[in-house]
Structure 1
Amino acid sequence: MEKLQREVRFLKAYSLILTTVLIAFFFMAFRTDFGKQRFQEIDVERINVVEKDGTLKMVIANGERQHPGMSEGKELAPRKRQPGLIFFNSAGDECGGLVYDADKKDGAGMVYSVDQYRNDQIMQLQYMQDLEGSKARTYGLKIWDRPDDFTLTRQNQVHDSLKTLKDEKVYEAVMKQLVAEGKYGTERLFVGRTWKDEVGLFIRDSKGKVRIKIYVDKQNQTKIETFDEQGKPVTK
């Protein structure tokens, strides 16, 4: 009888200890405020940086798990993107990022983009290089103008509507017209090295026409060129 009582007391103590440990593990598993942690090394495919309310502010990810982008609080359709960092503002829009990669087919490159509010990039610091054939490269600073009334959300709506028509000719005609009107942005300036090994300043007008080129060509000749609205040289 005494032996049985000892075994019962042991089982009670064991149950109490086990229950305490399980409760501790339970609270640790659901704890959200771990404070500052330090790691010597960590392997991860994606990190989401969020505010306390869960608002997404930045994603660091590999290519497979990269965020597709967001406009007006809505996530865009899945698409292939390069690894890197994507930034998001408090209005629920992607607002820039840093992406990079390299392979024989698509070449090598790294791009840091700054996006217009609820639109695509208006400024990029970029580097691109062909890894086959010509081995040409270009790098520098590029800026665009973009309209305020044709947001990224509106672009996607137009694109989806045209696709539902299943008429490639209509799609191409409308897209060509929208591009000509500058709805998808107009390149205005590039400072850097071109694919033709020209290094200098290249300025375009509001329609995207090259108007001023100040550069050194690949023969190390300095050139200053201006053009009219039709693209014809004015002075050299």
Structure 2
Amino acid sequence: MEKLQREVRFLKVYSLILTTVLIAFFFMAFRTDFGKQRFQEIDVERINVVEKDGTLKMVIANSERQHPGLVEGKPLAPRKRQAGLIFFNSAGDECGGLIYDADKKDGAGMVYSVDQYRNDQIMQLQYAQDLEGDKARSYGLKIWDRPDDFTSARLTHVIDSLKALKDEKRYEEVTNQLASEGKFGTERLFVGRTWKNEVGLFIRDQKGKVRIKIYVDKQNQTKIETYDDQGKLISK
């Protein structure tokens, strides 16, 4: 009888301990605030950085799982993107990022972009190199002008509408017209090395035409050139 009582007491204690452990695991499983954690090493394909309300602020991902981008809170259609970091603002737009890659087909490159509000990039620190042929490369700082009245959302709507028509001629006509009006953005300045191995300052006008070049060419000769609005050389 005493042996049976001891066994019953043991089972009661065991049951109490097991129940306590299970309850602890249950609450730990649903706990969201674990505080600061430290890892010596971690392998991950994608990390989403979000605010407490779930607003997406940054994505760090490989090429396969990279975010396609956001425009006014709506994800863009899936597309191939390089690995890197993509930044998002509280208004629901992609607002810049850092991407990089290298392979024989597409070459090597790295780009850090800063986007205009509700629009595409207006500044880039970029590097690109051909890994075949003459191994040409270019790198430097580039800036653009972009209109406030032709946002990324509007551009996406126009392009999607044109593609739905399945009329290549009409698509080309409209996109060429928009490009001539600067709706896709206009390059204004580049400081760095060009694909022609010219190193210097290159300034364009509001229509994207080169107006001033101050550079050293590949023969190590100093050049200062100005052009008119038709692209004709004025002074040298």
- Give the shorter-chain TM-score range: over 0.9
1:2 Cα shift? 4.3
Partner of 2:58 in structure 1?
Answer: 58
Q: Distance in 1 between matches of 2:89 and 2:72?
A: 10
1:39 Cα shift? 1.4
Confirm or deny that 1:210 pairs with 2:210. yes
Confirm or deny that 1:75 pairs with 2:75. yes
1:13 Cα shift? 2.1
Q: Distance in 2 between matches of 1:16 and 1:181?
A: 76
Unaligned stretches of 5+ in structure 2? Answer: none
Q: Distance in 1 between matches of 2:208 and 2:88?
A: 29
Amino acid at match of 2:86: I
* Structural RMSD (CA): 1.1
Cα deviations across residues 189-211 of structure 1 (Å, max 9, x unaligned)? 00000000000000000000011
Partner of 2:174 in structure 1?
Answer: 174
Partner of 1:201 in structure 2?
Answer: 201
Alignment of structure 1 residues 130-145 onto 2, 5 Å? 130-145=130-145
Q: Distance in 2 between matches of 1:22 and 1:150?
A: 58
Amino acid at match of 1:137: R
Partner of 2:188 in structure 1?
Answer: 188
Unaligned stretches of 5+ in structure 1? Answer: none
Q: Secondary structure of 1:218's match?
A: coil
* Seq. identity, %: 87
Confirm or deny that 1:36 pairs with 2:33. no
Q: Distance in 2 between matches of 1:158 and 1:91?
A: 22
Amino acid at match of 1:9: R
Amino acid at match of 1:21: V
Partner of 1:165 in structure 2?
Answer: 165
TM-score normalised by structure 1 residue count: 0.97
TM-score normalised by structure 2 residue count: 0.97
Q: Secondary structure of 2:32's match?
A: coil
Amino acid at match of 1:228: D
Confirm or deny that 1:154 pairs with 2:154. yes
Q: Distance in 2 between matches of 1:21 and 1:130?
A: 60
Q: Distance in 2 between matches of 1:63 and 1:131?
A: 20
Deviates more, 1:26-35 or 1:177-186: 26-35
Partner of 1:222 in structure 2?
Answer: 222
Amino acid at match of 1:29: A
Q: Secondary structure of 2:219's match?
A: coil
